[in-house]
Every structure is written in C-alpha cells, then in structure tokens.
C-alpha cells in the first residue's frame, strides 16, 4: 500500500540532507522510491523529530569506511550525519533529537510502514534519506528515474570528513572515589586529581587522546596552547 506524497517536499527534504552529507563528490537527489529501501547500504542512523516520527539516513561503503579508519579512531556515523538530520527537521519546522547508530536491517522496525526513500549521491547512490509518508501529503507522486544500485565513488579518506563536527574535551586529571565519598561531596570540598600542578592537560577528540598542552586564558575564557601532538597509533 502506498500513500500520495508531495514530491516537491520530498525533493526539498532530500536536498536539505544532501548538503550536509560528507562525501567525495557533490551529493544531490537522484530519485525516490516507496518503502524502506536498504539494498547496498553499509550503515545507518536514525533521529526522532519529536512528534513521534523517526527519520533515517543510510550510508554507503565510502563514508562508513572513512569513519571506521579515521586517524582519530572510529567515528560515529550518527554524529557525522547529525547536521543532515537537523536540516531535514528544520525544513519540517521541528528539531531533530540526537542521532544514533543502528543496524541497516533494524530500519524496517523503526520506520513507519508507509515511508519514502530519497536516494542521494553523485554518479551513483551513496546515501539515502528515509522519511515516513505521514506529513508529506500531496498529489500522487510523479515517477522518478531509478538510479543504479549503491556503489562507492573513489575514496578520498579523511578529506571527506573535514566538515564533520567532533566533540573536543580538555582533561586536567582524573581520580577514583568510593561511593560514600561521592555522596559526601558538598560545596567547598576538594577533589584531588592524579596529575601534578603544572602538568600538561590532555586534548581528547571523541574520547581519544590526540594532543597535550598548557591551559591558558584567552579573553577571560579557558583555552589550551598545544605543546605536543601525539602519534595516533600511540594515543589511547
């Protein structure tokens, strides 16, 4: 069973997502199909639009491989696709929740039975946006060309991830405490860390140590002056 959808809106949603998908070539809308189309995709992520609807983005081998082999360690597909989810939600007048990685085969159980798959890519399909048909009502869809099956474009490695936003943390030290001490914490308590005063602080990207530096103040804000870049193979 299918439902009539507004094909102009479908294309607009696809273009909104395509503008933010990391890729080695320009990504555009190649077509759309009824239902949840999964063949050939290597990874997927979903996000809640906050109104009970869930949207999904599927990615091909190129992006999934680039994230898995990043010199910064394995990166999250959901984090890489979050800007695309945000753009789709904004186009629908809402806000996307935090995206999460899922298995491709899980999507049929997460997306409404009535859905539209918007195929994205350049020379071939490299990604797809799956949106529920609810809220996309309009005239009966106009048949659109079916592009070739998903395939990987020539990889450019880390270059295609240059626009992906990462969580960066500066850590000055750690410690371990029993629960009874944690429960007794109060304003004025002092927690000793495992690092001497004046020792360099750690710079972590998605929890992975990549550099060390000196904590400084810039315009009344804390900052880190990098003093050492670590070999990715030696970082933990």
10-residue mean pLDDT profile of the chain (236 residues): values are 65 92 88 86 91 88 90 86 92 89 90 82 90 61 40 54 84 94 94 92 88 94 93 58
**Per CATH, domain 7-161 is 3.40.1550.10:** yes
CA distances from 8 to 12, 31, 32, 122, 141 (A): 6, 12, 11, 20, 9
Question: Under CATH, to which class is 168-229 assigned?
Answer: mainly beta
pLDDT of residue 147: 40
pLDDT of residue 5: 60
pLDDT of residue 208: 85
What are the extents of the domains in the chain?
7-161, 168-229
How far is Cα 232 from Cα 210, in angstroms, rounded to an integer? 7
DSSP assigned state of 47: E
Residue 136 pLDDT: 62
Helix or strand (DSSP H, E) at 52: none
**Which pLDDT value is given to residue 148?**
43
Contact 201, 212 (CB under 8 A): yes
Residues in the chain: 236
Q: Are 148 and 13 in contact (CB under 8 A)?
A: no
**Contact (Cβ atoms closer than 8 angstroms) between residue 226 and residue 168:** no
């Amino acid at each position: 069973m299918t439902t009539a959808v507004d094909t102009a809106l479908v294309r607009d949603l696809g273009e909104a997502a395509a503008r933010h998908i990391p890729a080695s070539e320009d990504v555009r809308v190649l077509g759309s199909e009824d239902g949840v189309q999964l063949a050939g995709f290597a990874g997927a992520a979903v996000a809640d639009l906050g109104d009970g609807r869930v949207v999904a983005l599927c990615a091909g081998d190129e992006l999934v491989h680039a994230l898995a082999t990043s010199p910064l360690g394995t990166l999250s597909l959901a984090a890489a696709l979050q800007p695309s989810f945000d753009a789709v939600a904004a186009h629908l007048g809402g806000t996307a929740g935090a995206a999460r990685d899922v298995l491709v085969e899980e999507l049929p159980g997460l997306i409404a039975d009535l859905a539209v798959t918007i195929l994205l890519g350049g020379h071939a399909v490299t990604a797809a946006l799956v949106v529920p048909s609810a809220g996309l009502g309009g005239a009966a869809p106009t048949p659109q060309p079916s592009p070739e099956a998903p395939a990987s474009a020539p990889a450019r490695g880390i270059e295609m991830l240059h626009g992906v936003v990462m969580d960066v943390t500066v850590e000055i030290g750690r410690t371990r405490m029993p629960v009874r001490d944690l429960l007794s914490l109060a304003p004025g308590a002092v927690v000793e860390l495992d690092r001497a005063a004046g020792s360099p602080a750690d710079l972590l990207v998605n929890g992975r140590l990549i550099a060390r530096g000196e904590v400084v103040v810039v315009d009344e804000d804390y900052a880190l002056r990098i003093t050492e870049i670590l070999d990715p193979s030696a970082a933990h």
